[in-house]
């Protein structure tokens, strides 16, 4: 439906995106100047620990913010058009599930308990494309097969499905309108390892066959490495490092990335995992300068200033003074 | 396509079967509940059989009085008179089967109560002149159902839709004022009724002060209905005032809680229109608790019926019970309790049935156990 202009132009560009939650203790800067780019047929993993603002980022992109969220500032351009500026009604009709779909965190509860699963999966087709019930259900059945559930289950209620099946049903729901971008917010965090792996395989297959782009939001370094083309690491509301997956996992540039990698246990590695001491700063009143400085073993005088973004190589961006003109990486 | 059609049919068949099993089980359970309730009432009302002794004493006194008072027996020697008295007592004991143990008779009473053979009133009679307790009650029942049913339906629909609207405008001036008015429900309907009668029947005589229909009742059917409506206005309004704000307040809070469910957020992300989200994702999953609270409210209002009907001189069950207690007419009191038990059971059954239709999770539990 939308004019796919230049296949090389980015699908989604996020520029200086900021969003605050109003709380009784004052505003919380959950998303604090994020710049990101998602290309066509690319899987971007947004990595970060709890409370770093990665889920808020997903909520800003689909405008499913809770009541206490302030109006986001900055730009989110979808095919070059700023969708943040769209009216609520146009956003609902032109973006939600037509261009961008979502697989929720806690997908266990993402299905309406009193409506048959099939109805819920077929719903976007009926609303956005005006399809008949019959046609929409037939398409939903295809989507079910695609994610590995028998079409029979369309007639079931959510409580009659296992956790893994529900997660797959939610995934099928996101794919049913063939959106350009699917945002996956911790899609596998409540599932066992085997189910996680098989869902990751389904995602890989869809990316290959349909050219869909993914934003995978997770705290799980191991699963994220399965799908990732590129990785963006968030810390305290900001993106601190962004790199191609290969570079990120083998040679992380930011001290936080390096420590995060060292804190994850690995199968074929002798070294014991090293935890990162301390806690992330409060997003209410973030410290001046580098936000990771307090926990960083390599901090020096310059860390008192807000770090600029440096490019150790062409596609690698890092927000750390160590990388300023020949700093040691 | 055909595959999914058969799947659908299979799904429906399965649902129907579950619904039947579930309904059957609930009916049985309720029947047992009513049985126990009515039996307990019988045992308590007879004080576990001790009332029999009182009754026997009463029969003896009555028989002795009757024989003594009858001039025809004045000349008989006292022995023969005593014999006559004993004969009469024996007859009465035989009629009431007081010689049998209470426990046997209690089951007879239970059976009679369950088939609504409620016996004859001691003092009261129906407007049509019948002394059958059943007739007396049945005559009054429609008036009560009409009044309380109307008031409840009104409160229910107004409250649910107002609450949905408020939950969307959470924190607005309207929302704040409804919350502010919620304590008005601390006073019962009859309390507002007194003021309504004072204001709208005496100071500005817009409505009748009480009763159910004008005297004499209009001949024409429409005029009759209009007259009943005019008489209903104030009591319905009184109940409405006493229930509406707390209902809106609690349901609005309820909707607020439920509109932060993940599936509501998901529906919003899916780009569904607001109205559909409200109907399908907020109202639909919460319908069973809403219906519960509605029916519980209905049951709760029964207990207020006695006073409200008195205030508005409404010829319903509440007034009847009030009169029966005044006359110490035990059969009518017990009969009312039995009818009340049945009404309650029917309410609970309707509730269960609605639950099973509204919430698929209830159905599966009923089918599995």
Name the one residue in this structure whose structure tokens are 């005589």: B205
Look at B269 and A96 and tell me if their CB atoms are within 8 Å.
yes
Residue of chain B whose alpha carbon sits nearest to that of A120: B267
pLDDT tens figures, B139-157 = 888 998 899 889 988 998 9
B53 and B140 fall within a common domain: no
Report the C-alpha gap between A72 and A70 in whole angstroms: 6
Cross-chain CB nearest to A155 (options B8, B260, B359): B8
Structure tokens at B197: 């009668």
- What's the pLDDT at B303? 67
Identify whether the C-beta of residue B170 lies closer than 8 Å to the C-beta of residue A67. yes
Element (H, E) at A73: strand A73-78
Q: Show residues of chain A in contact with B358, CB under 8 Å.
A: 114
Radius of gyration for the alpha carbons in chain A, expressed in angstroms and rounded: 20
Domain count, chain B: 2
Give pLDDT, residue B229: 93
Residues of chain B contacting A92 with CB distance shorter than 8 Å: 271, 273
Contact between chains at B361 and A159 (C-beta distance less than 8 A): yes
At A5 the pLDDT is: 56
Cα–Cα distance list, B112 to B39, B188, B354 (Å): 11, 36, 30
Q: Does the pLDDT at position B319 exceed 60?
A: yes
DSSP state for residue B42 in the 8-state scheme: H
**8 Å CB contact between B55 and B98:** yes
Nearest to B268 among A64, A112, A159 (CB): A64
- Among B2-11, B43-52, B135-144, the least confident range: B2-11
Query: Which pLDDT belongs to residue B126?
Result: 82
- The answer to whether the Cβ–Cβ distance between A159 and B260 falls below 8 Å is no
- Confidence class of residue B8 from pLDDT cuts 50, 70 and 90? low
Q: Exposed/middle/buried for A53, CB within 10 Å: 0-12, 13-18, 19+?
A: buried
Strand A230-235 relative to strand A43-47, pairing: parallel
Q: Write the secondary structure of A28-51 as one string of H (helix), E (strand) and C (coil).
A: EEEEEEEEEEECCCCEEEEECCCC
Q: Measuring CA to CA, which residue among B360, B261, B247, B346 is closest to residue B293? A: B247
pLDDT in tens, B67-98: 878 887 777 788 888 888 888 888 888 887 77
Other C-beta atoms lying within 10 Å of the C-beta of residue A225: 17
Q: What is the mean pLDDT of chain B?
A: 84
Given a contact cutoff of 8 angstroms between Cβ atoms, the answer to whether A125 and A176 are in contact is yes
- A–B interface: beta-carbon pairs under 8 A: 96
Q: What is the pLDDT of residue A328?
A: 45
Residue A214: per-residue pLDDT: 95
Identify the CA nearest to A127 among candidates B285, B284, B276. B276
Q: What is the average per-residue pLDDT within B93-108?
A: 83
Nearest to B262 among A104, A138, A160 (CB): A104
Give the three-state DSSP class for A239. Answer: strand
Do B3 and A151 count as a contact with CB atoms less than 8 A apart?
Answer: yes
Q: For tokens 């003021």, what's the residue?
A: B195
Residue range B316-340: mean pLDDT, rounded:
83
Which of B263, B355, B357, B367 should one mutate to test binding to chain A, selecting the residue with the greatest count of A CBs within 10 A?
A: B263
Chain B hits for A134, CB-CB cut-off 8 Å, are: 1
- Residue-wise pLDDT for B215-247, tens only, equals 888 888 899 999 999 999 999 999 999 989 998
pLDDT bucket at B368, cuts 50 / 70 / 90: very low
Q: Which of B8, B265, B272 is the closest to A123 by Cβ? A: B272
Residue in A with minimal Cα distance to B362 = A114
Q: Is A181 helix (H, G, I), strand (E, B) or coil?
A: strand
What ipTM, to 2 d.p.? 0.85
Q: Which domain holds residue B159?
A: 134-328
Q: Check whether residue B193 and residue B301 sit in a common domain.
A: yes
Any domain includes B239? yes
- How many residues in chain B? 369
User: pLDDT class for B363, splitting at 50, 70, 90?
Assistant: low
Q: In angstroms, what separates the C-alpha of B171 from chain A's closest C-alpha?
A: 11
Residue of A nearest to B11 (CA): A155
Is residue B17 included in any domain, yes or no? no
- Domain co-membership, B186 together with B300: yes
Chain B residues near residue A64 by CB distance under 8 angstroms: 265, 268-269
Domain annotation covers residue B34 = no
- Looking at the fold, whether B97 and B242 belong to one and the same domain comes out as no
Together in a domain, B229 and B106:
no
Of A96, A114, A134, which has the smallest distance from its Cβ to B1's Cβ?
A134
Q: Which residue matches tokens 């797959």?
A: A168
How far apart are alpha carbons B205 and B263 in whole angstroms? Answer: 53
pLDDT > 90: percent of chain B = 21
Q: Residues 59-98, chain A: which have Cβ within 8 Å of B?
A: 62, 64, 66-67, 92-93, 95-98
- Cβ of A114 within 8 Å of Cβ of B358? The answer is yes
Per-residue confidence (pLDDT) for residue A20, from 0 to 100: 92
Q: Do B360 and A123 touch (CB under 8 A)?
A: no
The verdict on residue B120 lying in a domain is no
CB–CB of A151/A118 below 8 Å? no
Q: Let me know if residue B76 belongs to a domain.
A: yes
Residues 6+ apart with CB under 8 A from B47: none
Best to test chain B binding among A62, A97, A110, A189 (most B CBs inside 10 Å): A110
Phi then psi for A152, rounded to 5 degrees?
A: -55, -35
- The string of pLDDT tens digits covering residues B261-280 is 889 989 999 999 988 998 89
Closest by Cα among A77, A178, A197, A199 to A125: A178
Helices B360-368 and B2-45 cross at an angle (nearest 10°) of 70
Instruction: Say yes or no for a CB contact (<8 Å) between B360 and A159.
Output: yes
Q: In chain A, whose CA is at the least distance from the CA of B167? A: A67
Q: Where are the alpha helices (DSSP H) in chain A?
A: 54-62, 88-94, 117-128, 133-147, 163-175, 193-210, 221-227, 245-250, 255-262
Q: Are strands A43-47 and A213-218 parallel, antiparallel or unpaired?
A: parallel
pLDDT at site A164: 86
- Contact flag A124-B281 (C-beta cutoff 8 Å): no
How far apart are the C-alpha atoms of B160 and B157, rounded to whole Å? 5
For residue B22, being part of any structural domain is answered with: no
Same domain for B275 and B139, yes or no, is yes
* Residues B83 and B229 grouped into a single domain: no
Is B358 domain-assigned? no
State the angle between helix axes of B330-358 and B284-311 in degrees (0 to 180), rounded to the nearest 10.
160
CA–CA separation, A166 vs A164, rounded Å? 5
Q: How far apart are CA A191 and CA B300, in angstroms?
A: 46
B249, B320: one domain: yes
Task: Identify which has the larger pLDDT, B138 or B330.
Answer: B138
Mean pLDDT of B98-120: 84
Question: Which A residues in the span 151-180 are in contact with B, Cβ-Cβ below 8 Å?
Answer: 151-152, 154-157, 159-160, 170, 173
Find the residue in A nearest to B170 (Cα): A67
The neighbour count for residue B192, using CB atoms within 10 Å, is 21
Rounded Cα–Cα distance for residues A76 and B283 (Å):
33
User: Are the C-beta atoms of residues B264 and B167 closer than 8 Å to each other?
Assistant: no
Residue A206 DSSP label? H
Nearest-10 crossing angle of helices B133-168, B221-258? 50
- Among residues B60, B84, B115, the one where a domain terminates is B115
B73 with B213, same domain?
Answer: no
B285 chain-A contacts, CB cut-off 8 A: 112-114
**Whether A254 contacts A318, CB under 8 Å:** yes
Element (H, E) at B291: helix B284-311
Which structure tokens are listed for A222?
A: 């191991």
From first to last of its 329 residues, what are the pLDDT tens digits of chain A?
445 557 778 899 999 999 999 988 889 999 999 999 999 999 999 999 888 888 899 999 988 888 888 899 999 999 989 999 899 899 999 999 999 999 986 666 889 988 999 999 999 999 999 999 999 999 999 999 989 899 999 999 998 888 888 989 999 999 999 999 999 988 887 788 888 888 889 999 999 999 899 999 998 888 888 889 999 999 999 999 999 999 999 889 999 999 988 888 877 777 788 888 888 888 888 888 899 998 998 888 899 999 989 988 888 999 999 988 654 44
Contact B333, B324 (CB under 8 A): yes
- Neighboring chain B residues of A142 at a CB cutoff of 8 Å: none
Rounded CA-CA distance B138/B141 in Å is 5
Checking if the pLDDT of B2 tops 60, the result is no
Q: Cβ–Cβ of A113/B285 closer than 8 Å? A: yes
Chain B, nearest residue to A157 by Cα: B360
Helices (H) and strands (E) in chain A — how many of each?
9, 11
**Is the predicted pLDDT of residue B114 greater than 50, yes or no?**
yes
Question: CA B22 from chain center: how many Å?
Answer: 24
Option in B4, B268, B276 nearest A138 (CB)? B4
**Chain B: closest CA distance from residue A290 (Å):** 34
Query: Is B139 in the same domain as B281?
Result: yes
Looking at the fold, whether B201 and B109 belong to one and the same domain comes out as no
B269 and B190 housed in the same domain: yes
Tokens of B310: 């008195």
Nearest CA among B253, B280, B249, B287 for reference residue B264? B280
- CATH number reported for the structural domain that contains residue B168 in this entry: 1.10.3720
Query: B275 burial class (0-12, 13-18, 19+ CB within 10 angstroms)?
Result: exposed
What is the per-residue pLDDT across A218-264, written as a single tens digit (0 to 9) for each?
A: 988 888 888 899 999 999 999 999 999 999 998 899 999 999 888 88
Would you give the DSSP letter of residue A237?
A: T
Residue B187 lies in a domain: yes
């Amino acid at each position: 439906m939308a004019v796919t202009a230049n296949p090389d132009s980015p699908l989604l560009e996020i520029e200086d995106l900021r969003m605050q939650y109003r709380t009784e203790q004052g505003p919380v800067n959950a998303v604090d100047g994020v710049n990101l780019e998602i290309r066509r047929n690319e899987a971007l993993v947004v990595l970060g620990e709890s409370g770093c603002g990665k889920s808020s980022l997903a909520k800003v992109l689909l405008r499913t913010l809770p009541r206490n969220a302030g109006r986001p500032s900055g730009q989110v351009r979808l095919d070059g058009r700023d969708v943040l500026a769209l009216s609520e009604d146009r956003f609902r009709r032109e973006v939600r599930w037509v261009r961008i779909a979502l697989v929720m965190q806690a997908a266990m509860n993402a299905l309406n308990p009193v409506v048959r699963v099939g109805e819920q999966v077929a719903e976007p087709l009926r609303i956005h494309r005006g399809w008949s019930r019959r046609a929409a259900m037939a398409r939903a059945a295809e989507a079910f097969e695609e994610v590995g559930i028998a079409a029979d289950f369309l007639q079931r209620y959510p409580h009659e499905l296992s956790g893994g099946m529900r997660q797959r049903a939610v995934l099928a729901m996101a794919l049913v309108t063939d959106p350009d971008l699917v945002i996956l917010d911790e899609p596998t965090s409540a599932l066992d390892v085997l189910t996680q792996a098989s869902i990751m395989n389904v995602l890989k297959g869809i990316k290959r066959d349909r050219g869909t782009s993914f934003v995978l939001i997770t705290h799980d370094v191991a699963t994220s490495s399965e799908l990732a083309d590129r990785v963006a690491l968030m810390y305290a509301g900001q993106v601190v490092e962004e790199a191609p997956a290969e570079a990120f996992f083998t040679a992380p540039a930011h001290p936080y990335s390096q420590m995060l990698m060292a804190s994850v246990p690995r199968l074929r590695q002798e070294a014991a995992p090293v935890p990162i001491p301390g806690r992330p700063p409060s997003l209410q009143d973030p410290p001046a300068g580098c936000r990771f400085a307090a926990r960083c073993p390599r901090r020096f005088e310059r860390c008192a200033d807000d770090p600029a973004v440096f490019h150790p190589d062409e596609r690698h961006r890092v927000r750390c003074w160590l990388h300023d003109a020949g700093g040691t990486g | 396509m055909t595959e999914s059609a058969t799947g659908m049919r299979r799904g429906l068949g399965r649902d129907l079967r579950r619904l039947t099993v579930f309904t059957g089980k609930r009916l049985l359970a309720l029947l047992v509940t009513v049985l126990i309730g009515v039996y307990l009432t019988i045992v308590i009302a007879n004080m576990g059989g001790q009332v029999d002794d009182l009754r026997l004493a009463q029969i003896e006194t009555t028989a002795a009085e009757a024989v003594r008072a009858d001039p025809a027996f004045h000349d008989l020697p006292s022995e023969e008179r005593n014999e006559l008295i004993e004969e009469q007592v024996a007859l009465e004991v035989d009629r009431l089967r007081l010689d049998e143990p209470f426990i046997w008779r209690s089951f007879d009473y239970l059976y009679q109560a369950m088939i609504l053979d409620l016996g004859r009133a001691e003092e009261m009679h129906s407007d049509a002149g019948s002394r059958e307790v059943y007739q007396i009650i049945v005559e009054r029942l429609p008036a009560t159902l009409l009044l309380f049913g109307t008031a409840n339906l009104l409160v229910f629909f107004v409250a649910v839709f107002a609450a949905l609207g408020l939950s969307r405008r959470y924190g607005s001036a309207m929302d704040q004022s409804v919350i502010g008015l919620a304590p008005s429900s601390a006073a019962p309907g009859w309390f507002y009724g007194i003021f309504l009668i004072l204001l709208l029947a005496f100071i500005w005589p817009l409505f009748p002060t009480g009763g159910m229909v004008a005297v004499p009742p209009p001949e024409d059917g429409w005029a009759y209905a209009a007259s009943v409506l005019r008489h209903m206005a104030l009591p319905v309004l009184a109940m409405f005032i006493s229930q509406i704000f707390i209902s809106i307040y609690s349901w609005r809070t309820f909707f607020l809680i439920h509109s932060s469910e993940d599936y509501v957020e998901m529906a919003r992300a899916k780009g569904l229109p607001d109205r559909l989200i409200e109907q399908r994702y907020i109202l639909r999953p919460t319908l069973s608790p809403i219906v519960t609270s509605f029916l519980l409210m209905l049951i709760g209002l029964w207990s207020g019926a006695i006073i409200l009907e008195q205030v508005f001189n409404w010829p319903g069950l509440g007034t009847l019970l009030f009169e029966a207690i005044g006359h110490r007419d035990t059969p009518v009191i017990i009969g009312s309790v039995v009818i009340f038990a049945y009404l309650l059971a029917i309410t609970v059954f309707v509730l269960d049935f609605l639950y099973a239709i509204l919430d698929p999770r209830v159905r599966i539990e009923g089918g599995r156990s």
